[in-house]
């Protein structure tokens, strides 16, 4: 009985599949990939910055309140100076005006907030732009693939029509897929970063009001004690 030797099936690894996927998609695949990489780089930089800028506001405010009540404002300022967090930066500038009027303290806090907020929102618009570009470039690649397919059907010889049509469809589908994957991933990251940034801004504004009230109350109490 004769044994029929089966031809071995050659399977692609992930790198080979990705290379073929990119090559079949044409030039727009590489443009989308560049935009995607730029978006990822921005996202990574923003995540690292947010880890640096963020701090436990409740714990920081509790420490500041304890020092202010204990007439140890300089200790509170020193504690804020040791942290790179933006909330600490704003609190420090407010504490430096502790002996001045409420209006002067408020001005210092507002000026610090205006300086801190752009650091939180920095480059987020570019991340949203990268997501939109990925979608549009994917659409542009799709149009290119469809034009290539229609040209194959209209002009190519019968023996080449099937191959050219398949190549055009590959360009259209691959660019659409990569553009959507890039756009969706960048949009998700952008939304997460926006939410975290808004949380930090809200925490800064909330604790600034608390600090202003604390310093004004402490100063009012000190004035009453001196008058008594």
pLDDT 10s digits, 87-99: 999 999 999 988 8
- Least confident range from 38-42, 144-148, 217-221: namely 217-221
Q: How confident is the model at residue 9 (pLDDT cuts 50, 70, 90)?
A: very low
Instruction: Give the pLDDT score at 220.
Output: 63
Reply yes or no on whether the pLDDT at 5 is more than 50: no
**Distance between CA atoms of residues 53 and 56, nearest Å:** 10
**Distance between CA atoms of residues 8 and 11, nearest Å:** 9
What is the full DSSP assignment across 51-112?
HHH---HHHHHHHHHHHHHTT-HHHHHHHHHT---HHHHHHHHHHTTTTS-HHHHHHHHHHH
- Cα–Cα distance list, 122 to 46, 82, 133, 197 (Å): 8, 23, 19, 10
Whether 204 and 86 have beta carbons less than 8 Å apart is answered as: yes
Task: Calculate the average pLDDT of the chain.
Answer: 84
Reply yes or no on whether the pLDDT at 213 is more than 80: yes
Q: How confident is the model at residue 225 (pLDDT cuts 50, 70, 90)?
A: low
Model pTM? 0.80
Residue 190, sorted as left (phi over 0), alpha (psi -120 to 50) or beta, turns out to be: alpha
Tokens of 16: 């080979």
């Amino acid at each position: 009985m004769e044994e029929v030797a089966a031809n071995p099936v050659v399977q692609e690894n992930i790198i080979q599949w990705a290379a073929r996927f990119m090559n079949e998609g044409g030039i727009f695949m590489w443009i989308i990939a560049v935009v995607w990489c730029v978006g990822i780089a921005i996202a990574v930089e923003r995540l690292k910055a947010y880890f640096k800028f963020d701090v436990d506001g409740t714990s920081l405010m509790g420490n500041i309140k304890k020092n202010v009540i204990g007439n140890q404002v300089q200790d509170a300022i020193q504690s804020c100076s040791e942290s790179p967090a933006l909330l600490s930066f704003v609190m420090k500038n407010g504490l430096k005006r502790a002996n001045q009027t409420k209006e002067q303290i408020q001005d210092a806090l507002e000026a610090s907030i205006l300086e801190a907020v752009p650091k939180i929102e920095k480059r987020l618009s570019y991340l949203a732009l990268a997501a939109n570009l990925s979608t549009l470039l994917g659409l542009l690649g799709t149009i290119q693939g469809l034009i290539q397919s229609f040209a194959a059907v209209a002009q190519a010889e019968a023996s080449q029509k099937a191959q050219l049509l398949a190549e055009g469809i590959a360009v259209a589908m691959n660019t659409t897929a990569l553009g959507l994957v890039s756009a969706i991933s960048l949009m998700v990251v952008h939304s997460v970063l926006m939410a975290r940034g808004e949380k930090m801004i809200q925490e800064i504004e909330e604790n600034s009001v608390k600090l202003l009230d604390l310093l004004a109350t402490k100063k009012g109490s000190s004035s009453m004690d001196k008058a008594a």
